[in-house]
Each structure stands twice: as C-alpha cells, then as structure tokens.
Amino acid sequence: MKNINSTWKKGPGKVGILKPLLGSWQASADSPMGKVRCTRTFTPILNGTYVQLIAKWEFGKKVYEEFAIYGINEGKISFWSFTSDGKKSEGVIANGKDVAPDAIAFEAEMTAGLARMIYWPNTEGGFNWAVESKNKNGWKRFTQHKYVPL
C-alpha cells in the first residue's frame, strides 16, 4: 500500500493543486450500461499553465470520450469539457472537504441543475472520482470510480 500523503501533494503554480492527478489512470466499474473500463490521462500543457484531460469510457465496443482543459479563469481554477456525444460543460473549483480533507472538487451548472465532480486519494496510490448532483437534501452521488495507475 502506497503512502497517500507522499503522492497527494499540491505542486507549484496556479494549477498546482492538480498535481496529484497528473499521469495515466484506469478504473473498472459496473454501470447501468454494463461493465465500464475508464482511463484518464492528465497532462500539463502550454508550459504548465493548463492541464489537459483525455478520458475514455469503454462499454464493450461502445466508446465515449472526453477532452477537458483545466486552467485559470477570472482568478479561479476552472475546466472546460467536451464529449464525444457533442455535449460541453464548464465549471470552477469548489469545496469537497465533506467527502475528504484533500479532495479536489469542481462544480458546474448543468441542464438538470448543479453538479460536482470530486477527486480524492485512495489507499492504492491512486484516487477516487465521483459525480454528484445537488438536490434539496444535499449532494446525491450517481457515479463513483476507483482509479489506479495505468
């Protein structure tokens, strides 16, 4: 088991909070569409001023892809996401400390309301990732994956 504290540390610069996510990661999970294998690769780009995410979800032969950029917008770490089904979203850094003390969270206003995604360290030297929607009772989780290094 890897020491979480040694891998989950903020790096230098304005997007340094994303340092623990850099690299290539994989997860397998059950979903309403069956088994899914997901890979996420986070790479610093443009001299480290942005981080690029390439995500690929594989449901058997069906593939869903996401391309996202994380960077500074109006003084806040933000993201811009584009998916293979033609959708796009954007959001800003948020508080995820209700999930874990070291969580990295982002919120986005979606068609169905406010959503957030959260990354937090796991005991395998990787991270957990979840997506939640906001309702009158708080946050409702509808997706969660456990990522390990690829």
Which pLDDT score, from 0 to 100, does residue 30 have? 81
Domain map (residue ranges) of the chain: 4-149
Q: Which residue type, as a one-letter code, is found at position 69?
A: I
The H or E element spanning position 6 is helix 4-7
Mean pLDDT of the chain: 92
Report the distance separating Cα 125 and Cα 87, nearest Å. 32
Q: CATH number of 4-149: 3.90.650.10, 3.40.50.300, 3.40.50.720, 2.40.128.20?
A: 2.40.128.20
Which pLDDT score, from 0 to 100, does residue 1 have? 40
- pTM exceeds cut of 0.75: yes
Residue 112, φ and ψ in degrees, nearest 5: -85, 0
At residue 122, does pLDDT exceed 70?
A: yes
